[in-house]
Amino acid sequence: MKAILKVTLVFALAAFANTLFGAGNLKVNILPASAKKAVIAVSTCCNSNFSISVANEEGRIIYSKENLEPIEDYLTEFDLSALEDGKYTLKAANHDITTERIFRKTDEGIKVGKEKTNIKPFFGFRDGILRCTYLNFSKENLTLYFLKKNQLLYSKELGKTFNVTEGMNLSALVKGNYEVILSAGEKEYSFRVDKE
């Protein structure tokens, strides 16, 4: 059984490698051009579609754009004069990869924070084995939950490890619908397991 688990984890890592390769290739930045204008810059490793958005502290989207044609580099001028002073989040998303920067707008212009990249975890269920792989770029405290009908059956603290690979043998469970949740700070990712 350990050999099967190792093989499935290797398979999960191989499937996740393509996403990992792309993770360092989606970049977003906001560059001050003047006290009233900035340039939003998004780059990808290869031509791809992505969306960008700017949200205020309450999470309300005040600007959004989705490119219709795949491109590598995107630049647009952004008018800061309509923004109130405060904190904003610039986000770019491409498939399962999200990268964002927090920026603060003041009368003098903007101050831009560090870029944070996030990749959705890989979940898979095959031959009774549940697999979960996640790259914890933000070094959040991670917890894995396993539930049936919103009732907690199992939980495991995973710490702040960067590279998480977990496997669970579910072959002994009764038939039914289950849910797996990976909690990463304020973000939660869920996966449904249908055991027949």
Q: Are residues 46 and 104 in the same domain?
A: yes
Tens of pLDDT, residue by residue over 108-120, are 788 999 988 888 8
Residue 14 lies in a domain: no
Final residue of a domain: which of 118, 144, 168?
A: 118
pLDDT along the chain (196 residues), means of 10: 42 38 67 84 80 92 86 86 90 87 87 89 93 90 94 94 91 92 91 91
62, 173, 186, 196 from 178: Cα distances, Å:
37, 10, 22, 11
- The verdict on 103 and 41 lying in the same domain is yes
Pair (90, 133) in one structural domain: no
Q: Which residue has the tokens 């995973």?
A: 158
Q: Are residues 107 and 175 in the same domain?
A: no
Last residue of a domain, one of 118, 140, 175: 118
Structure confidence at residue 137 (pLDDT): 85
Same domain, 113 and 27: yes
Q: What is the pLDDT of residue 133?
A: 94
Give the per-residue pLDDT at 156: 94
Average pLDDT, the chain: 83
Examine residue 3 and state whether it is found in any structural domain, yes or no: no
> What is the per-residue pLDDT for 151?
94
- Tell me, yes or no, whether 126 and 104 share the same domain: no
**End position of a domain, from candidates 69, 90, 118:** 118
Q: Tell me, yes or no, whether 27 and 114 share the same domain.
A: yes
CATH number at residue 48: 2.60.40.3080
93 and 114 part of one domain: yes
CA distance 159 to 162: 9
Question: Does any domain span residue 12?
Answer: no
- In whole angstroms, give the CA distance from residue 133 to residue 188: 14
What pLDDT, on a 0 to 100 scale, did the predictor assign at position 49?
82
- Per DSSP, the three-state class of 139 is coil
pLDDT of residue 191: 95
List phi, psi (to 5°) of 34. Answer: -160, -175
Q: Give the count of domains, the chain.
A: 2
pTM: 0.67
Q: Same structural domain for residues 187 and 155?
A: yes
Sign of the Cα torsion 182, 183, 184, 189 reads positive
Residue 8 lies in a domain: no
Structural domain span for residue 71: 22-118
